[in-house]
Chain A
Protein backbone atom coordinates (compact mmCIF):
# COMPACT_ATOMS: atom_id res chain seq x y z
CA UNK A 1 0.00 0.00 0.00
CA UNK A 2 1.29 3.47 -0.81
CA UNK A 3 2.14 5.84 1.99
CA UNK A 4 -0.75 7.99 0.88
CA UNK A 5 -3.26 5.18 1.10
CA UNK A 6 -1.86 3.94 4.40
CA UNK A 7 -2.20 7.38 5.98
CA UNK A 8 -5.72 7.89 4.65
CA UNK A 9 -6.72 4.40 5.77
CA UNK A 10 -5.54 5.07 9.31
CA UNK A 11 -7.44 8.34 9.40
CA UNK A 12 -10.61 6.72 8.02
CA UNK A 13 -10.49 3.71 10.31
CA UNK A 14 -10.12 5.84 13.40
CA UNK A 15 -10.02 3.89 16.69
CA UNK A 16 -12.48 6.13 18.50
CA UNK A 17 -14.84 6.22 15.53
CA UNK A 18 -15.90 8.92 13.09
CA UNK A 19 -16.02 12.54 14.21
CA UNK A 20 -18.84 15.01 13.80
CA UNK A 21 -17.98 18.27 12.11
CA UNK A 22 -19.37 21.33 13.91
CA UNK A 23 -20.97 24.24 12.05
CA UNK A 24 -19.15 27.56 12.11
CA UNK A 25 -20.54 31.00 12.79
CA UNK A 26 -18.34 33.64 11.18
CA UNK A 27 -20.14 36.69 12.59
CA UNK A 28 -17.13 37.72 14.66
CA UNK A 29 -15.00 38.38 11.56
CA UNK A 30 -17.51 40.39 9.53
CA UNK A 31 -20.32 42.98 9.84
CA UNK A 32 -18.09 45.77 11.11
CA UNK A 33 -20.49 48.38 9.74
CA UNK A 34 -17.81 51.06 9.31
CA UNK A 35 -18.46 54.12 7.16
CA UNK A 36 -16.12 54.96 4.28
CA UNK A 37 -14.52 57.59 6.47
CA UNK A 38 -14.01 55.16 9.36
CA UNK A 39 -12.53 52.59 7.02
CA UNK A 40 -10.07 55.08 5.63
CA UNK A 41 -9.06 56.34 9.06
CA UNK A 42 -8.58 52.89 10.42
CA UNK A 43 -6.62 51.74 7.38
CA UNK A 44 -4.31 54.72 7.63
CA UNK A 45 -3.86 54.42 11.39
CA UNK A 46 -2.92 50.75 11.18
CA UNK A 47 -0.67 50.79 8.14
CA UNK A 48 1.22 53.82 9.39
CA UNK A 49 1.60 52.17 12.80
CA UNK A 50 3.77 49.54 11.09
CA UNK A 51 5.84 52.08 9.17
CA UNK A 52 3.75 52.30 6.01
CA UNK A 53 3.37 55.78 4.52
CA UNK A 54 0.06 57.04 3.20
CA UNK A 55 -0.19 59.82 0.62
CA UNK A 56 -3.64 61.05 -0.31
CA UNK A 57 -4.19 62.24 -3.84
CA UNK A 58 -6.93 62.93 -6.32
CA UNK A 59 -7.70 60.55 -9.13
CA UNK A 60 -6.99 63.24 -11.77
CA UNK A 61 -3.54 64.25 -10.68
CA UNK A 62 -2.25 61.35 -8.63
CA UNK A 63 0.82 61.13 -10.81
CA UNK A 64 1.91 64.50 -9.45
CA UNK A 65 1.94 62.92 -6.01
CA UNK A 66 3.87 59.99 -7.43
CA UNK A 67 6.47 62.33 -8.91
CA UNK A 68 6.81 64.06 -5.55
CA UNK A 69 7.38 60.75 -3.81
CA UNK A 70 9.96 59.71 -6.40
CA UNK A 71 11.78 63.01 -5.97
CA UNK A 72 11.59 62.97 -2.18
CA UNK A 73 13.03 59.48 -2.00
CA UNK A 74 15.61 60.00 -4.70
CA UNK A 75 14.20 57.22 -6.84
CA UNK A 76 16.03 57.06 -10.15
CA UNK A 77 14.92 53.71 -11.48
CA UNK A 78 11.29 52.68 -11.14
CA UNK A 79 10.05 49.22 -12.07
CA UNK A 80 6.45 49.14 -13.26
CA UNK A 81 3.93 47.39 -15.46
CA UNK A 82 2.62 48.53 -18.79
CA UNK A 83 -1.05 47.71 -19.29
CA UNK A 84 -2.72 48.38 -15.99
CA UNK A 85 -4.13 51.95 -15.95
CA UNK A 86 -1.93 52.74 -12.93
CA UNK A 87 1.18 51.74 -14.86
CA UNK A 88 0.00 53.33 -18.10
CA UNK A 89 -0.79 56.67 -16.45
CA UNK A 90 2.48 56.62 -14.54
CA UNK A 91 4.42 55.90 -17.71
CA UNK A 92 2.68 58.77 -19.48
CA UNK A 93 3.37 61.18 -16.65
CA UNK A 94 6.99 60.11 -16.32
CA UNK A 95 7.74 60.03 -20.05
CA UNK A 96 9.47 63.37 -20.02
CA UNK A 97 10.89 62.82 -16.56
CA UNK A 98 14.41 61.85 -15.64
CA UNK A 99 13.33 58.74 -13.75
CA UNK A 100 14.27 55.61 -15.68
CA UNK A 101 11.37 53.26 -16.23
CA UNK A 102 12.25 49.60 -15.84
CA UNK A 103 10.03 47.15 -17.71
CA UNK A 104 8.83 44.23 -15.66
CA UNK A 105 7.08 42.25 -18.39
CA UNK A 106 10.23 40.20 -18.93
CA UNK A 107 11.01 36.76 -17.60
CA UNK A 108 12.84 37.16 -14.31
CA UNK A 109 15.67 34.90 -15.47
CA UNK A 110 16.69 37.64 -17.91
CA UNK A 111 17.05 40.39 -15.36
CA UNK A 112 17.17 38.91 -11.87
CA UNK A 113 20.39 40.59 -10.80
CA UNK A 114 19.24 43.87 -12.31
CA UNK A 115 16.03 43.68 -10.34
CA UNK A 116 17.82 42.79 -7.10
CA UNK A 117 20.57 45.36 -7.42
CA UNK A 118 19.61 48.10 -9.80
CA UNK A 119 16.02 49.10 -9.19
CA UNK A 120 15.13 51.76 -6.62
CA UNK A 121 11.41 51.16 -6.36
CA UNK A 122 8.56 49.08 -7.69
CA UNK A 123 5.17 50.59 -8.53
CA UNK A 124 2.06 48.41 -8.44
CA UNK A 125 -1.66 48.71 -8.47
CA UNK A 126 -3.66 46.95 -5.78
CA UNK A 127 -6.98 45.17 -5.90
CA UNK A 128 -8.14 46.79 -2.72
CA UNK A 129 -7.46 47.32 0.93
CA UNK A 130 -8.58 46.02 4.31
CA UNK A 131 -9.47 48.57 6.96
CA UNK A 132 -9.39 46.26 9.95
CA UNK A 133 -5.74 45.35 9.61
CA UNK A 134 -4.36 48.12 7.39
CA UNK A 135 -3.64 45.72 4.54
CA UNK A 136 -3.42 45.89 0.76
CA UNK A 137 -4.44 42.97 -1.38
CA UNK A 138 -2.64 42.21 -4.61
CA UNK A 139 -3.09 39.56 -7.22
CA UNK A 140 0.12 39.74 -9.24
CA UNK A 141 -0.31 39.43 -13.02
CA UNK A 142 1.98 39.02 -16.03
CA UNK A 143 1.78 42.79 -16.31
CA UNK A 144 2.70 43.35 -12.65
CA UNK A 145 4.59 40.23 -11.50
CA UNK A 146 4.94 39.27 -7.87
CA UNK A 147 8.54 40.25 -7.29
CA UNK A 148 8.20 43.98 -7.98
CA UNK A 149 6.34 44.40 -4.70
CA UNK A 150 9.11 42.50 -2.91
CA UNK A 151 12.58 42.88 -4.33
CA UNK A 152 13.16 46.64 -4.82
CA UNK A 153 13.90 48.57 -1.62
CA UNK A 154 10.79 50.72 -1.94
CA UNK A 155 7.29 49.59 -2.88
CA UNK A 156 4.83 52.22 -4.06
CA UNK A 157 1.28 50.90 -4.17
CA UNK A 158 -1.76 52.66 -5.54
CA UNK A 159 -5.02 52.09 -3.70
CA UNK A 160 -8.44 53.43 -4.68
CA UNK A 161 -10.12 54.84 -1.58
CA UNK A 162 -13.36 53.11 -2.60
CA UNK A 163 -11.48 49.82 -2.75
CA UNK A 164 -11.26 49.64 1.03
CA UNK A 165 -13.35 46.99 2.70
CA UNK A 166 -13.81 46.16 6.36
CA UNK A 167 -12.21 42.78 6.90
CA UNK A 168 -10.19 40.07 5.15
CA UNK A 169 -13.19 37.78 5.47
CA UNK A 170 -15.36 40.37 3.69
CA UNK A 171 -12.87 40.60 0.83
CA UNK A 172 -12.72 36.84 0.35
CA UNK A 173 -16.50 36.55 0.41
CA UNK A 174 -17.48 39.60 -1.70
CA UNK A 175 -14.92 38.93 -4.38
CA UNK A 176 -15.58 35.22 -4.30
CA UNK A 177 -11.94 34.26 -4.09
CA UNK A 178 -12.88 30.62 -3.77
CA UNK A 179 -14.21 30.66 -7.33
CA UNK A 180 -10.70 30.95 -8.69
CA UNK A 181 -7.44 31.78 -6.98
CA UNK A 182 -4.55 33.35 -8.86
CA UNK A 183 -1.14 31.69 -8.78
CA UNK A 184 -0.19 34.07 -6.02
CA UNK A 185 -2.45 36.23 -3.87
CA UNK A 186 -0.93 38.59 -1.35
CA UNK A 187 -1.84 40.71 1.60
CA UNK A 188 0.77 43.37 2.26
CA UNK A 189 0.62 45.34 5.50
CA UNK A 190 3.64 47.58 5.72
CA UNK A 191 7.28 47.23 4.73
CA UNK A 192 9.30 44.09 5.42
CA UNK A 193 10.28 43.88 9.06
CA UNK A 194 11.85 41.70 11.71
CA UNK A 195 12.12 41.66 15.47
CA UNK A 196 14.45 38.69 15.59
CA UNK A 197 17.28 40.66 17.16
CA UNK A 198 16.13 41.03 20.75
CA UNK A 199 12.63 42.18 19.76
CA UNK A 200 14.01 45.37 18.27
CA UNK A 201 12.04 46.28 15.17
CA UNK A 202 14.08 46.70 12.01
CA UNK A 203 12.68 47.31 8.56
CA UNK A 204 13.69 46.03 5.17
CA UNK A 205 15.18 42.76 6.27
CA UNK A 206 14.44 40.95 3.01
CA UNK A 207 11.71 42.89 1.24
CA UNK A 208 11.17 46.63 0.86
CA UNK A 209 12.38 48.95 3.59
CA UNK A 210 9.61 51.38 2.70
CA UNK A 211 6.02 51.04 1.60
CA UNK A 212 4.25 54.11 0.23
CA UNK A 213 0.53 53.85 -0.37
CA UNK A 214 -0.91 56.42 -2.73
CA UNK A 215 -4.60 56.54 -1.84
CA UNK A 216 -6.54 57.83 -4.82
CA UNK A 217 -9.78 59.64 -4.06
CA UNK A 218 -12.31 59.92 -6.86
CA UNK A 219 -13.62 63.36 -7.85
CA UNK A 220 -17.04 62.77 -6.30
CA UNK A 221 -15.59 61.81 -2.96
CA UNK A 222 -13.00 64.61 -2.90
Chain B
Protein backbone atom coordinates (compact mmCIF):
# COMPACT_ATOMS: atom_id res chain seq x y z
CA UNK B 1 0.00 0.00 0.00
CA UNK B 2 0.96 3.62 -0.34
CA UNK B 3 3.33 4.46 2.47
CA UNK B 4 2.58 7.50 4.60
CA UNK B 5 3.72 10.44 2.61
CA UNK B 6 5.90 13.06 4.24
CA UNK B 7 4.88 16.41 2.86
CA UNK B 8 7.46 19.09 2.00
CA UNK B 9 7.17 22.77 2.98
CA UNK B 10 5.35 25.01 0.51
CA UNK B 11 7.56 25.45 -2.58
CA UNK B 12 8.11 28.59 -4.67
CA UNK B 13 7.02 26.91 -7.85
CA UNK B 14 4.99 23.95 -8.98
CA UNK B 15 4.18 22.28 -12.26
CA UNK B 16 0.56 21.84 -13.26
CA UNK B 17 -0.38 18.76 -15.24
CA UNK B 18 -3.81 19.69 -16.52
CA UNK B 19 -5.00 16.27 -17.76
CA UNK B 20 -6.63 15.66 -21.12
CA UNK B 21 -10.21 15.71 -19.87
CA UNK B 22 -9.71 19.12 -18.31
CA UNK B 23 -7.87 20.32 -21.36
CA UNK B 24 -10.73 19.43 -23.65
CA UNK B 25 -13.89 19.52 -21.56
CA UNK B 26 -13.32 21.44 -18.34
CA UNK B 27 -10.46 23.88 -19.04
CA UNK B 28 -11.73 26.40 -16.50
CA UNK B 29 -11.12 23.81 -13.74
CA UNK B 30 -7.47 23.75 -14.78
CA UNK B 31 -7.26 27.52 -14.79
CA UNK B 32 -9.00 27.72 -11.43
CA UNK B 33 -6.54 25.22 -9.99
CA UNK B 34 -3.75 27.39 -11.30
CA UNK B 35 -5.25 30.50 -9.73
CA UNK B 36 -5.76 28.80 -6.37
CA UNK B 37 -2.10 27.92 -6.36
CA UNK B 38 -0.99 31.35 -7.52
CA UNK B 39 -3.01 32.98 -4.76
CA UNK B 40 -0.88 31.00 -2.31
CA UNK B 41 2.14 32.76 -3.74
CA UNK B 42 3.25 29.82 -5.82
CA UNK B 43 4.40 30.26 -9.39
CA UNK B 44 2.65 27.71 -11.59
CA UNK B 45 4.57 26.26 -14.51
CA UNK B 46 2.41 24.80 -17.24
CA UNK B 47 4.50 22.78 -19.70
CA UNK B 48 2.90 23.50 -23.04
CA UNK B 49 3.77 20.10 -24.49
CA UNK B 50 1.68 18.13 -22.01
CA UNK B 51 -1.07 15.96 -23.46
CA UNK B 52 -2.37 12.95 -21.52
CA UNK B 53 -1.02 10.71 -18.77
CA UNK B 54 -1.68 7.61 -20.88
CA UNK B 55 -4.23 6.06 -18.57
CA UNK B 56 -6.96 5.37 -21.14
CA UNK B 57 -4.62 3.17 -23.11
CA UNK B 58 -3.18 1.63 -19.95
CA UNK B 59 -6.49 0.48 -18.47
CA UNK B 60 -7.60 -0.78 -21.87
CA UNK B 61 -4.64 -3.10 -22.01
CA UNK B 62 -2.56 -1.12 -24.52
CA UNK B 63 0.49 -0.87 -22.38
CA UNK B 64 3.09 0.01 -24.99
CA UNK B 65 0.91 2.83 -26.32
CA UNK B 66 0.38 4.00 -22.73
CA UNK B 67 4.09 3.87 -22.12
CA UNK B 68 4.84 5.90 -25.22
CA UNK B 69 2.34 8.58 -24.20
CA UNK B 70 3.59 8.58 -20.62
CA UNK B 71 7.18 8.80 -21.84
CA UNK B 72 6.27 11.98 -23.71
CA UNK B 73 5.25 13.55 -20.39
CA UNK B 74 8.24 12.44 -18.33
CA UNK B 75 10.62 15.04 -19.72
CA UNK B 76 8.29 17.99 -19.14
CA UNK B 77 9.15 18.48 -15.49
CA UNK B 78 12.95 18.95 -15.43
CA UNK B 79 13.18 21.03 -12.26
CA UNK B 80 12.53 19.40 -8.89
CA UNK B 81 9.20 21.17 -8.27
CA UNK B 82 6.11 19.28 -7.22
CA UNK B 83 3.76 18.27 -10.04
CA UNK B 84 0.14 19.09 -9.27
CA UNK B 85 -2.60 17.06 -10.94
CA UNK B 86 -6.22 18.17 -10.51
CA UNK B 87 -7.43 14.57 -10.83
CA UNK B 88 -7.09 11.55 -8.56
CA UNK B 89 -7.32 9.26 -11.51
CA UNK B 90 -4.49 10.79 -13.57
CA UNK B 91 -2.56 11.47 -10.37
CA UNK B 92 -2.93 7.83 -9.40
CA UNK B 93 -1.76 6.73 -12.82
CA UNK B 94 1.36 8.88 -12.60
CA UNK B 95 2.17 8.14 -9.00
CA UNK B 96 1.45 4.43 -8.74
CA UNK B 97 1.53 3.04 -12.27
CA UNK B 98 4.40 4.95 -13.88
CA UNK B 99 7.09 3.15 -11.87
CA UNK B 100 6.02 -0.39 -12.85
CA UNK B 101 5.20 0.79 -16.38
CA UNK B 102 8.80 1.89 -16.91
CA UNK B 103 10.46 -0.82 -14.81
CA UNK B 104 13.40 -2.24 -16.70
CA UNK B 105 13.41 0.55 -19.30
CA UNK B 106 15.90 3.36 -19.74
CA UNK B 107 13.41 5.77 -18.25
CA UNK B 108 12.88 3.79 -15.06
CA UNK B 109 14.78 6.20 -12.82
CA UNK B 110 13.11 9.24 -14.36
CA UNK B 111 9.67 7.67 -14.03
CA UNK B 112 10.27 6.91 -10.36
CA UNK B 113 11.52 10.42 -9.79
CA UNK B 114 8.52 12.01 -11.50
CA UNK B 115 6.12 9.68 -9.69
CA UNK B 116 7.59 10.80 -6.39
CA UNK B 117 6.68 14.42 -7.17
CA UNK B 118 3.06 13.83 -8.10
CA UNK B 119 0.42 15.45 -5.88
CA UNK B 120 -3.30 15.46 -6.39
CA UNK B 121 -4.57 19.06 -6.19
CA UNK B 122 -6.64 18.80 -3.00
CA UNK B 123 -3.88 16.81 -1.34
CA UNK B 124 -1.42 19.57 -2.13
CA UNK B 125 -3.77 22.35 -1.03
CA UNK B 126 -4.45 20.66 2.32
CA UNK B 127 -1.15 19.07 3.22
CA UNK B 128 1.38 21.39 1.63
CA UNK B 129 -0.34 24.77 1.28
CA UNK B 130 -2.39 24.36 4.48
CA UNK B 131 -4.93 26.34 2.54
CA UNK B 132 -7.21 28.77 4.39
CA UNK B 133 -10.35 29.78 2.57
CA UNK B 134 -12.48 32.86 2.98
CA UNK B 135 -15.92 31.82 1.76
CA UNK B 136 -17.80 34.57 -0.08
CA UNK B 137 -20.49 32.41 -1.64
CA UNK B 138 -24.10 32.01 -0.55
CA UNK B 139 -25.20 29.22 1.80
CA UNK B 140 -25.37 25.95 -0.06
CA UNK B 141 -25.75 22.23 0.56
CA UNK B 142 -23.05 20.33 -1.24
CA UNK B 143 -22.14 16.67 -1.62
CA UNK B 144 -18.54 15.67 -2.28
CA UNK B 145 -17.86 12.76 -4.57
CA UNK B 146 -14.28 11.67 -4.09
CA UNK B 147 -13.15 9.60 -7.04
CA UNK B 148 -12.19 5.99 -6.45
CA UNK B 149 -8.63 6.68 -7.61
CA UNK B 150 -8.23 9.58 -5.21
CA UNK B 151 -9.80 7.58 -2.41
CA UNK B 152 -8.15 4.23 -2.86
CA UNK B 153 -5.18 4.52 -5.19
CA UNK B 154 -3.92 7.78 -3.65
CA UNK B 155 -5.41 7.35 -0.16
CA UNK B 156 -7.10 10.77 -0.26
CA UNK B 157 -10.60 10.18 1.08
CA UNK B 158 -10.46 13.22 3.32
CA UNK B 159 -8.78 16.08 1.50
CA UNK B 160 -11.74 17.14 -0.65
CA UNK B 161 -14.26 17.09 2.23
CA UNK B 162 -11.72 18.91 4.43
CA UNK B 163 -11.52 21.77 1.94
CA UNK B 164 -15.28 21.98 1.52
CA UNK B 165 -15.81 21.86 5.27
CA UNK B 166 -13.56 24.89 5.64
CA UNK B 167 -15.97 26.98 3.55
CA UNK B 168 -18.08 28.78 6.14
CA UNK B 169 -21.32 28.93 4.18
CA UNK B 170 -21.19 25.45 2.74
CA UNK B 171 -23.01 22.60 4.38
CA UNK B 172 -21.38 19.34 3.41
CA UNK B 173 -24.02 16.62 3.16
CA UNK B 174 -23.09 12.94 3.20
CA UNK B 175 -24.75 10.72 0.62
CA UNK B 176 -25.26 7.03 1.35
CA UNK B 177 -22.48 4.76 0.09
CA UNK B 178 -20.30 7.79 -0.51
CA UNK B 179 -17.32 5.51 -1.14
CA UNK B 180 -19.03 3.61 -3.92
CA UNK B 181 -17.93 4.09 -7.52
CA UNK B 182 -20.08 6.33 -9.74
CA UNK B 183 -19.67 3.92 -12.63
CA UNK B 184 -17.38 5.93 -14.89
CA UNK B 185 -14.24 3.82 -14.99
CA UNK B 186 -13.02 5.24 -18.30
CA UNK B 187 -13.72 2.74 -21.05
CA UNK B 188 -15.85 0.72 -18.61
CA UNK B 189 -18.73 3.15 -19.21
CA UNK B 190 -18.47 2.40 -22.91
CA UNK B 191 -17.86 -1.35 -22.74
CA UNK B 192 -20.52 -2.02 -20.10
CA UNK B 193 -22.91 0.88 -20.57
CA UNK B 194 -25.87 -0.68 -18.82
CA UNK B 195 -23.98 -1.65 -15.68
CA UNK B 196 -22.32 1.74 -15.64
CA UNK B 197 -25.72 3.40 -16.05
CA UNK B 198 -27.12 1.47 -13.09
CA UNK B 199 -24.20 2.68 -11.00
CA UNK B 200 -24.49 6.33 -11.95
CA UNK B 201 -28.22 6.17 -11.45
CA UNK B 202 -27.72 5.04 -7.85
CA UNK B 203 -25.08 7.71 -7.34
CA UNK B 204 -27.30 10.55 -8.55
CA UNK B 205 -30.19 9.30 -6.43
CA UNK B 206 -27.94 9.17 -3.38
CA UNK B 207 -26.68 12.71 -3.96
CA UNK B 208 -30.17 14.03 -4.52
CA UNK B 209 -31.59 12.27 -1.48
CA UNK B 210 -28.85 13.71 0.69
CA UNK B 211 -30.40 17.08 -0.07
CA UNK B 212 -27.45 18.39 -2.03
CA UNK B 213 -28.01 21.32 -4.38
CA UNK B 214 -24.67 20.68 -5.96
CA UNK B 215 -22.02 18.00 -6.08
CA UNK B 216 -18.34 18.64 -6.20
CA UNK B 217 -15.68 16.21 -7.34
CA UNK B 218 -11.97 16.21 -7.89
CA UNK B 219 -12.16 14.14 -11.06
CA UNK B 220 -13.58 15.19 -14.39
CA UNK B 221 -14.46 11.63 -15.38
CA UNK B 222 -16.85 11.41 -12.44
CA UNK B 223 -18.06 14.95 -13.14
CA UNK B 224 -18.87 14.08 -16.73
CA UNK B 225 -20.63 10.90 -15.67
CA UNK B 226 -22.65 12.11 -12.68
CA UNK B 227 -23.29 15.56 -14.15
CA UNK B 228 -24.27 14.04 -17.48
CA UNK B 229 -26.77 11.80 -15.73
CA UNK B 230 -28.31 14.69 -13.78
CA UNK B 231 -28.51 16.79 -16.94
CA UNK B 232 -30.05 13.94 -18.91
CA UNK B 233 -32.81 13.73 -16.33
CA UNK B 234 -33.10 17.51 -16.30
CA UNK B 235 -32.43 17.63 -12.59
CA UNK B 236 -31.48 20.83 -10.86
CA UNK B 237 -28.39 19.37 -9.19
CA UNK B 238 -25.25 20.76 -10.83
CA UNK B 239 -21.76 19.42 -10.65
CA UNK B 240 -18.48 21.25 -10.49
CA UNK B 241 -14.79 20.45 -10.24
CA UNK B 242 -13.54 21.23 -6.77
CA UNK B 243 -10.93 23.67 -8.08
CA UNK B 244 -13.60 25.75 -9.75
CA UNK B 245 -15.89 25.56 -6.77
CA UNK B 246 -13.23 26.69 -4.33
CA UNK B 247 -12.02 29.47 -6.62
CA UNK B 248 -15.49 30.70 -7.47
CA UNK B 249 -16.52 30.98 -3.83
CA UNK B 250 -13.37 32.56 -2.52
CA UNK B 251 -12.30 35.01 -5.22
Contact present between A and B (CB < 8 A) = no
